[in-house]
Every structure is written in C-alpha cells, then in structure tokens.
Structure 1
Amino acid sequence: MFDPTQCESVSMAQAKAQEEQNPVNAALRATSIAFVALAESGQIDDTTATENVSQFASWAYPVAYAVGNIRQYNGELFRCVQAHTSQADWTPDATASLWKKVGDPTEEWPAWSQPIGAHDAYNSGDKVSHNGKHWTSNVDANVWEPGVYGWTEVTE
C-alpha cells in the first residue's frame, strides 16, 4: 500500500525549477518563441497562426505594443496596427484603430467590417459577406460599404 511518509518531499518551487531545466521543455519554449516571431514578421501565414492560437501571449495592459505584434484575446488573434501602450478599455475587439483581427483566410466570404484607414482597407478582389449577400471589391484601398461603391455583388 502507498505510504506518503516514505516519499521524498519536493516543494512546488523545486518541481518548477526541475521542469524548467528539462531539455524537452526548453526546446518547446524556443520553438514557440520562433513560431510567434515568424508569424509577427509575416513569414507564417494567418491560417497557420489561427490554427495555433495557444502559441501567442494573451493581450494585457499596460503593455507597450509594436506594430505587427500578435496577441490572443477571447480565443482570437489580433495584430497590432498602431504602436501604443495598452489600457484596460482599449481591448483588441473594441479598438479597430489599434488592432486588426487575424482572420482565417480559409473562410471564403468573411463578414465585412468597416475599414477605418489604409491599414485595413479592402483590396481589389477581396471577398466579403454583407447584409446576406456576397461581394467582391473592384478597387484597391476600398473603404466603402458593399452596395455603395467599389463592390460587385456575386450571384452564384
């Protein structure tokens, strides 16, 4: 029968230190850091990034973010589009001037979102869904709502 008094005692601090020195864990941390760095530099596509959300640090405040940083927030990825120091009420989902959602490029008709500037404007050929219809952008730097200007409705 198991007798806990006969076991060696190890503190949580000792266990954590042993875990951090494990070469497998060190390799996993290095791989994760490299993955994030490659994603933030654009060398890993958005589809691969969104399939590996857990590799990215959670958004936090107050933190100085640089353009291109990617953070997870509510299970989704967001890319910093304007350098800033985060504040409690500047969450990525609420501040389109600071963050852009890293969408899943495998989604053929993502929902249209009102661009607020050149950094998130639609390009010619971009596809969106809006008001129950599918649209394709006819122009680069398209900031107009589908159906107003610069879009062609796609009927299948």
Structure 2
Amino acid sequence: MDIRDASDAELCRFKTMIDGELDRRQTLATAEKQATELNNAYLAAAGVEPGQEWKQPTSAVDAYPKDWEVTFEGKTFVSLTPANVWQPPTGWREVVEEGAPEWVQPTGSHDAYSKGNQVTFGGEVFESVIDANTWSPETYPAGWKAI
C-alpha cells in the first residue's frame, strides 16, 4: 500500500500510532535518569545524604539510588542497583580503603561481580576473570584468579 492511497481516517490512525510509539521510546530512553534524579531530590529534601547510616527505606520513593553510599555496621557500602531497599550487603558492595572487600553471595545480575572485581575470600584475595560472576572462588575456581 502506498501511503498516498490511505484515507484521511487511516492517516490519522497511523499518525496516532506513530506518535504513541515515539512517546513510548522517549519514555524508555529517559525514565531511568528521571527516576534517579527524582529519587536524589527526594532524599535531599528529606535530609538524607550519601554516607549516612543505612536506614530501611519504606518504599521506592526513599530507596537508595545506584552508586549511593551508606554506612552499615561500621562499614561503607555503595548501592549496585537503582531503588535499592535491601539491607547491606545484599545489593551493595563494600567500599574499602585498602585491599579487597569480603566476597558476598550475589543475589542476581544487579550485584554479580564483573571481570576485574577483587574480593577477599578465605583470607586470600581473588580477581574475577569473568563478567556476571555469581560464584565464590571455592565453588567455581575457574571464575577467579588468586592475586
């Protein structure tokens, strides 16, 4: 069908469908950034600052955004996922000044270890040699190399 052969009603229907699809794509492209900005603004307005003691969020509104730092049980953690409502270490990675943080069992792709991540396990330091690594150095030695 040549578009020039379409009726006015068909053209209006196509335009509505096209506009809707463009809006959908725009939402998908910008939603995460907008949600993160809104989340950060909400936390700031509520007086919550990066590095403060972790407090259980009550909803997604006051959840911690990705890369947000908190203190928990004397340690500093950074959020690995947007809208993080989990208590560290789940969904968080410990921040250490020296050495490597203790290995923590990932719960999914959001907190799996990436190639190059270093951890302390059984008193030794290991580096992940694969992406999406959810195994311990003991469970899957081929996914880690001793440092």
Aligning the two structures, in what range does the TM-score lie when normalised by the shorter sequence?
A: 0.3 to 0.5
Q: What is the TM-score when the length of structure 1 is the normalising length?
A: 0.45
Q: What is the TM-score when the length of structure 2 is the normalising length?
A: 0.48
